[in-house]
């Protein structure tokens, strides 16, 4: 039997070694979801990953569920405060924003505010903090959301999606209920939490409610 030249054998061995290294790398590096920030370090702080963002978003959702406004205030951006948008389209001129100290008083605050414009009627959304949270923040238990989107829109309707334009450079998490099956049903909804870096930590700067609109 004729022996293969040494340079051919060497080439085969190098090729097989390359394949083996590729397989090992693929097994140990998990696939990224769309928009996964990877190992992006916040300035002077810990790396921001899809896991850390998901954990932070679920922690915030749990605080909202428990109406633990003191803990929620600790997560809010101390400079920007916290903006609330009842729909996916963010409009700072009509949406309501609160400072950290104002959020701490939410539990005892019975004042009625204008939070935005009602879809389809252009009437002002006038609600107390508790009523707004029940209708436009935690209308479902988002701690049990079946779909979580990291820096990508888990689902969209006919409203203008401008979260990335409104908060350039920010990270956001979609806690999404996809809704019932069938094209006629539009009962999906999203709690979208926007985080921005401050002194090495990712702080909450917006709570956006997204759903099918008229």
Question: Using an 8 Å Cβ cutoff, are 203 and 75 in contact?
Answer: yes
Is residue 155, in this structure, part of any structural domain at all? yes
pLDDT of residue 21 exceeding 70: no
pLDDT of residue 24 exceeding 90: no
CATH number of the CATH domain containing 144: 3.10.450
What integer is the mean pLDDT of 185-212?
A: 93
Out of 35-49, 55-69, 91-105, least confident range: 35-49
Task: Place 28 in a pLDDT band, splitting at 50, 70 and 90.
Answer: very low
The number of folded domains in the chain is 1
Is residue 27, in this structure, part of any structural domain at all? no
> Tokens standing for 14?
């190098």
Is residue 4, in this structure, part of any structural domain at all? no
Is residue 152, in this structure, part of any structural domain at all? yes
Is residue 33, in this structure, part of any structural domain at all? no
CA pair distance 142, 119, nearest whole angstrom: 22
Task: Place 145 in a pLDDT band, splitting at 50, 70 and 90.
Answer: very high
At 120 the pLDDT is 83
At 19 the pLDDT is 34
What integer is the mean pLDDT of 79-96?
A: 96
Is residue 20, in this structure, part of any structural domain at all? no
At 138 the pLDDT is 97
pLDDT of residue 99 exceeding 50: yes
At 214 the pLDDT is 67
pLDDT of residue 116 exceeding 90: yes
pLDDT of residue 33 exceeding 90: no
At 32 the pLDDT is 31
One DSSP character per residue, the chain reads: -PPPPHHHHHHHHHHHHHHHHHHHHHHHSPPPPTT---SEE-TTS-EE-HHHHHHHHHHHHHHHHHT-HHHHHHHB-TTT-EEEESSSS--TTTSEEE-HHHHHTGGG---EEEEEE-TTT--EEEEEHHHHIIIII-SS-GGG-SEEEESS-S---SS---HHHHSTT-EEEEEEE---SSTT----EEEEEEEEEETTEEEEEEEEEEE---
Is residue 7, in this structure, part of any structural domain at all? no
pLDDT of residue 26 exceeding 50: no
Which residues does residue 175 pair with via DSSP β-bridges, in sequence order?
148, 191
């Amino acid at each position: 039997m004729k022996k293969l030249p040494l340079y051919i054998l060497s080439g085969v061995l190098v090729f097989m070694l390359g394949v083996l290294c590729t397989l090992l790398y693929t097994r140990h590096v998990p696939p990224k979801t769309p928009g996964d920030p990877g190992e992006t370090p916040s300035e002077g702080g810990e790396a921001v990953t899809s896991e850390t963002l998901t954990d932070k978003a679920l922690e915030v959702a749990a605080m909202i569920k428990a109406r633990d406004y003191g803990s929620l205030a600790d997560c809010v951006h101390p400079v920007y405060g916290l903006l609330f948008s009842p729909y996916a389209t963010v409009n700072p001129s009509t949406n309501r924003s609160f400072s950290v100290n104002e959020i701490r008083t939410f539990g005892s605050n019975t004042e009625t505010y204008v939070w935005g414009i009602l879809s389809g009627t252009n009437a002002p959304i006038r609600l107390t903090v508790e009523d707004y949270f029940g209708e436009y923040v935690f209308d479902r238990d988002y701690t049990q959301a079946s779909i979580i989107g990291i820096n990508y829109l888990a689902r969209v309707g006919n409203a203008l999606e401008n979260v990335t334009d409104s908060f350039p450079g920010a990270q956001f998490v979609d806690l999404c209920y996809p809704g019932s099956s069938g094209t006629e049903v539009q009962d999906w909804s999203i709690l979208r939490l926007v985080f921005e870096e401050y002194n090495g930590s990712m702080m909450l700067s917006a709570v956006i409610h997204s759903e099918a609109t008229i």
